[in-house]
Every structure is written in C-alpha cells, then in structure tokens.
Amino acid sequence: MTEGNVSAYAEFNIFAGRCSCQFVIEANGGIYPCDFYVTDEWHMGNIKDSTFEELESSETAKIFVQSSEYIDPKCKSCKWINLCRGGCRRNREPMINGRPNLNYFCSSYREFFEYAIERLYEIAHLVANLPQDR
C-alpha cells in the first residue's frame, strides 16, 4: 500500500498530493477552486459566463493547482509520503517563498499511520476481496 500509487483511491484531495479544482459555486454564481479558497484572490469567474472546461483551463485554475504541487523535502524522505503526499494545501500555509510549508498535521499523520498501518492493510485486503457484483 505505501509503495503503490493510491491517489486514484484518494477519496478527498487531502491525500491526493496536489489540489484540483472542486468548483465551489456561491449563490451569486461566483466560482472558486475549493471551499477553503472562496476569496477574491481565487475567484475564477461566474457560472453564467463560463463553462467548466473554460474554468478548468483558466490561468487561475492553473496557478491554484501548480501552487499546491511543491512537496517539502522532509516529506520526500518520510516513509508515509505515498499515503500522505504532503496533505492538504490549506494545512501547509502560510506559504514560504510562494511554496507550501510543511503540513501543520505532519506529526499527527506520522503517529496515526504508524499506529494504524496494519489495520489499513487489513481493510485494503478486505475491500480488494469483495465480490465484484456489489
């Protein structure tokens, strides 16, 4: 599990390794890339004026995703990098020199994974062996 790529199985962006645009739409039609970033800085446009394809390829979307891709060197040498991938960008603020910081919850994640890894393997094994007709 820690050696493979589990991002395809990541239910939430928190462990995907980078942000993606979730397209939060406010009551006035304003669109933002993520519910943590409903701010003027990350306003992408309005649902009345743009398609999702246009929004996804917009400069704001590209900057938002690219700014989350940096992984702290401490993460790269961590044995849990394939599970955590640095965590959510929101928890890696404030930015330092335009790059995300080490995740605020880093020590908690390390402790949790150390404690739970055998149980996670058991769950993964059970899920992998579920009948396919479900």
DSSP string, 66-94: HTT----HHHHTSTTHHHHTT--GGGGPS
Other beta carbons within 10 Å of 32: 24
For the chain, strand residue ranges (E) read 24-25, 30-32, 45-46
- Identify whether 133 is a catalytic site residue: no
Burial class (CB in 10 A: 0-12, 13-18, 19+), 56: middle
CA 105 to chain centre: 14
CA 91 to chain centre: 10
Catalytic residues, by residue number, are 35
